[in-house]
Amino acid sequence: MDRSEAAHPCWADIDLEALERNYLNVQRRLKPGTHIMPSIKADAYGHGVAAVAERLFAKGAYALATGDIDEAIALRRAGLTGKIVMFGGPLPEGLGELLKHDLIPTLYDREGAEAFSRAATKPTPCYIKVDCGLGRLGVRADEAADFIASVARLPHVVIEGVYTHVPFATRASAEWSRRGIRSFEAVIAALAKRGIRPAITQARASSGVLMDLEDSSNTVCVGHILYGLSSMAPGEADMTGFEPILKAVRGKLVHIGRHPAGRDLAIGGLYGLNAAR
């Protein structure tokens, strides 16, 4: 028994071949040339980020996305050199640490953009998140074109990508997501009129791919479906072609207790036995 087994007598069987099949199933649902940016947040949804990340890069993922800087740095230390985009909003004082490890930040306000410009010592990529209705992190859609144009003028700033997030869990709520996608596309069109054409534009996530929502962006960011999980409520999506990559959770039996009849067990003696076990 090695140290890992001694500390953790339970483990999960993860099928990386199933991960590859799910990736290819996503690819088949997309227009040719569409990039896939897998979400590997939260330890790849609990499936083990290091092995998952390595396999997804090997399959051709354009970039990986996570919200945990420690997770991203661990991938760098493990030798992965592909693009890693950071979800969420880093504090301005933390941007230097991201750049030190060649991690691509998400910007959404002027303070963060100016801090990024100061931290960068050469043309450096970033992503900008647009809020198209979710109400979370992101520059508001009606302010996005002006904001992005102003950020593009800052020294060393290269806006590689612009993205949004409009998730939904039911077929009935898909229309809300469609409106968000249209709002995002209006932002991208307004940027094009100003001569700003980010290399990456992304609006659809797992639910949008499952429901085949119309989208003119050139990238999707998928998480759940890569791991064989539905991003929608039960019965709301056809998961044909996707399979769980978690195949089993196993453990080693460490103890069998035998107790005489009538002994009160458990905390406070709340459980009484009627027969010897």
Cα four-point dihedral sign 188, 192, 193, 194:
positive
Residue 129 · residue 108 · CB < 8 Å: yes
Half-sphere exposure of 93 (CA within 13 A, CB side): 0
Domain residues of the chain, as ranges? 3-251
The predicted-structure confidence for 13-57, as pLDDT tens digits, reads as follows 999 999 999 999 999 999 999 999 999 999 999 999 999 999 999
Q: What CATH class is the domain 3-251?
A: alpha beta
Question: What pLDDT, on a 0 to 100 scale, did the predictor assign at position 88?
Answer: 81
Judge residue 252's burial from the number of C-beta atoms within 10 Å of its C-beta, 0-12 exposed, 13-18 middle, 19 or more buried.
Answer: exposed
Inform me whether the pLDDT recorded for 169 exceeds 60.
yes
Question: Counting every residue, how long is the chain?
Answer: 277
**pLDDT for position 266:** 82
Is pLDDT of 3 > 90? no
pLDDT tens digit sequence for 128-167: 999 999 999 999 999 999 999 999 999 999 999 999 999 9
How many CB atoms sit inside 10 A of residue 118's CB? 14
**pTM: predicted TM-score of the whole model, two decimal places:** 0.90
Phi first, then psi: give them for residue 138, nearest 5 degrees.
Answer: 140, 155
Over residues 269-277, the mean pLDDT reads 63
Task: Specify the 3-state DSSP secondary structure of 178.
Answer: helix
